[in-house]
């Protein structure tokens, strides 16, 4: 159910995203890379602290492997963090260069992480994991109740406004 979360980010249309840098090589990264490939993105860079994990992505998704220490210089439009490193280390482990040339930053962690705060400080559009979580919940509801929403965007908007205290 990660795929609906990625599909509904409107990244390709609104931000003209042509390349993506994915941080991390866990299960969430697999799902996100699959969704990005499904959406037609051909330039997907991937990095992980344990570089050996990147190899299976290279074969399966045709990603471009990037060494962890070189990731900040990666020329991607979109940065997606799938790691929980910031939750453990309490700081984001890249220099300010990681924001260079980025049109959008997305952290799958459902919190205002230092990565998100840094993107806002640089006036880069960004979202945290709450958006993906809402899409996943809506899609899971459809799957488990055999229900199809007539206007899933309307349902998303309602839940988002509710969670943000606007209703």
Render pLDDT for 113-139 as a digit per residue (tens, 0 to 9).
888 888 999 999 888 887 777 877 888
How many whole angstroms separate alpha carbon 40 and alpha carbon 27?
20
Predicted local distance difference test score (pLDDT) of residue 14: 62
Reply yes or no on whether the pLDDT at 85 is more than 80: no
The answer to whether residues 134 and 156 touch, using CB atoms and an 8 Å cutoff, is yes
The answer to whether residues 79 and 103 touch, using CB atoms and an 8 Å cutoff, is no
Element holding 65 (H helix, E strand): strand 64-65
| Model confidence, pTM | 0.79
pLDDT band for position 90 (cuts 50, 70, 90): low
Reply yes or no on whether the pLDDT at 75 is more than 60: yes
How many whole angstroms separate alpha carbon 38 and alpha carbon 41?
8
* Overall residue count recorded for the chain in this entry: 167
Element holding 23 (H helix, E strand): strand 19-23
The answer to whether residues 19 and 12 touch, using CB atoms and an 8 Å cutoff, is no
User: What are the residues whose beta carbons fall under 8 Å from the beta carbon of 154, sequence distance 6 or more?
Assistant: none
Predicted local distance difference test score (pLDDT) of residue 121: 92
Predicted local distance difference test score (pLDDT) of residue 1: 46
């Amino acid at each position: 159910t990660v795929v609906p979360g990625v599909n509904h980010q409107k990244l390709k249309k609104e931000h003209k995203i042509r390349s993506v840098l994915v941080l991390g090589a866990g299960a969430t990264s697999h799902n996100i890379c699959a969704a990005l490939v499904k959406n037609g993105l051909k330039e997907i860079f991937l990095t992980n602290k344990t570089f050996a994990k990147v190899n299976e992505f290279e074969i399966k998704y045709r990603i471009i492997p990037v060494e962890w220490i070189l990731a900040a210089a990666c020329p991607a439009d979109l940065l997606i963090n799938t790691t929980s490193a910031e939750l453990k280390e309490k700081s984001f482990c890249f220099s300010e260069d990681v924001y260079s040339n980025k049109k959008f930053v997305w952290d799958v962690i459902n919190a205002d992480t230092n990565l998100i705060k840094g993107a806002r400080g640089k006036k880069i559009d960004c979202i945290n994991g709450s958006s993906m979580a809402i899409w996943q919940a809506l899609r899971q509801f459809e799957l488990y109740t055999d229900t199809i929403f007539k206007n899933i965007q309307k349902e998303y908007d309602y839940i988002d406004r509710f969670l943000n205290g606007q209703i």
